[in-house]
A and B are shown apart, each in its own frame.
Chain A
Amino acid sequence: MSNIVSALNQKTYADGIAEVREIGLQGMITLRGDTASTAVKSAATDVAGVDMPAPNQVNCVDQRGICWMSPDELLVLCPYETVADNLAKMRKSLDGAHALSVDVSDARAVFDLSGPHAREALAKLVPVDLSPDVFKEGMFRRSRMAQVPAAFWLHAPDTFRIITFRSQAQYAFDLLKVAVQPGSEVGFF
């Protein structure tokens, strides 16, 4: 049996103003279809075990969750080892509905950026207003992080969870590492 590892095998940088950590394997299923339809909604909620999020929102508990990606796309999160079973379950419940579901777990990398300075570290990299009054828990935002696409949300107070493409994992890690370098506090928020 091969030893499956994530892009950076939980590489961590903890010497900066915030901690950067690749979280390791995370199960991810892309579900495309009419997100207003009962079939698509229940296919997502049955697997994730969380409520359907509103547009531009996320509901996520530990490794299970639903991210609202676009008007016709959801990203369903579940533990990595349960993806195959969940995908089968999802396809069964979507039988007859116009929808598409696919395992994208190995196509992505997931990072946690945590600590009291996490917000200002991420704000250096994304063209998004991250002030505490504007970017709150529950919000999900797809944007770019310097030169690569990234999606992120507040997974816990002071902890951003960030998803990038796997092929860009090293770039994203290096980028975050520079953004949290010691002595680089901005003190804006």
Chain B
Amino acid sequence: MLILTCPCCGVTGEETEFHAGGEAHLKRHGPGSTADQFEEYLFMRENPKGVHFERWRHVYGCGKWFHAARSTTTLEVYGTYAAQTHEPPKDLRDTISKKVPGWTWREFQ
């Protein structure tokens, strides 16, 4: 079972109280960007076995969006953090490194 703690209201609930919002930290490149960059924004997604970063919404609770780092294999949640974040926070990355040495996700490790 996937159990998430919403960083906005503090409630810990199981998966069905939330709604998955896809991969975290996608970047939409601005004016003048290339077709390849736009394609990447629209279609190119990570599909990791292990550490993954996602957007979630506490849809049946406070209604807020947030980010979550979890394992796609064990469903262990390493942490949740604010939606207003452009990349995985350093302290969370350090926490994951202690549990999963050598993990990588996009340009992060």
Contact with B along A102-131 (1 / 0, CB 8 A): 000000000000000000000000011000
Q: How far is the CB of B16 from chain A (nearest CB, A)?
A: 6
Measured between beta carbons, the chain B residues less than 8 angstroms from A71 are 8-9, 62, 64
Measured between beta carbons, the chain B residues less than 8 angstroms from A55 are 9-10
- In whole angstroms, what is the CA distance A127 to B8 when docked? 19
Measured between beta carbons, the chain A residues less than 8 angstroms from B61 are 70, 142-143
A149 within 8 A of B: yes
Q: Which residues 1-59 of B sit at the A interface, judged by CB distance below 8 A?
A: 8-11, 13-14, 16-17
Q: How far is the CB of A89 from chain B (nearest CB, A)?
A: 27
* Chain B positions near chain A (C-beta within 8 angstroms): 8-11, 13-14, 16-17, 60-64
In the A-B complex, list the 9 residue pairs whose CB atoms are closest, starting with the nearest: A70-B62, A144-B60, A142-B61, A127-B14, A149-B60, A143-B60, A143-B17, A71-B8, A70-B63
- Please classify how large the interface on chain A is, using the bins under 10, 10 to 19, 20 to 34, 35 or more: 10 to 19
A69 within 8 A of B: yes
Contact A70 B9 (CB under 8 A): yes
A63 within 8 A of B: no
Measured between beta carbons, the chain B residues less than 8 angstroms from A149 are 60
Q: How far is the CB of B60 from chain A (nearest CB, A)?
A: 4
- In whole angstroms, what is the CA distance A142 to B63 when docked? 10
Measured between beta carbons, the chain B residues less than 8 angstroms from A64 are none
- In whole angstroms, what is the CA distance A143 to B64 when docked? 13
Measured between beta carbons, the chain A residues less than 8 angstroms from B64 are 70-71
Contact A127 B10 (CB under 8 A): no
Measured between beta carbons, the chain A residues less than 8 angstroms from B16 are 127, 144
Measured between beta carbons, the chain B residues less than 8 angstroms from A73 are 62
A141 within 8 A of B: yes
**Given A127-B16, A127-B17, A144-B17, CB of A56 within 8 Å of CB of B60:** no
Q: How far is the CB of B102 from chain A (nearest CB, A)?
A: 35
27 A-B residue pairings within 8 Å (CB atoms): A55-B10, A56-B9, A56-B11, A70-B8, A70-B9, A70-B61, A70-B62, A70-B63, A70-B64, A71-B8, A71-B64, A73-B62, A127-B14, A127-B16, A128-B13, A141-B11, A142-B11, A142-B60, A142-B61, A142-B62, A143-B13, A143-B17, A143-B60, A143-B61, A144-B16, A144-B17, A149-B60
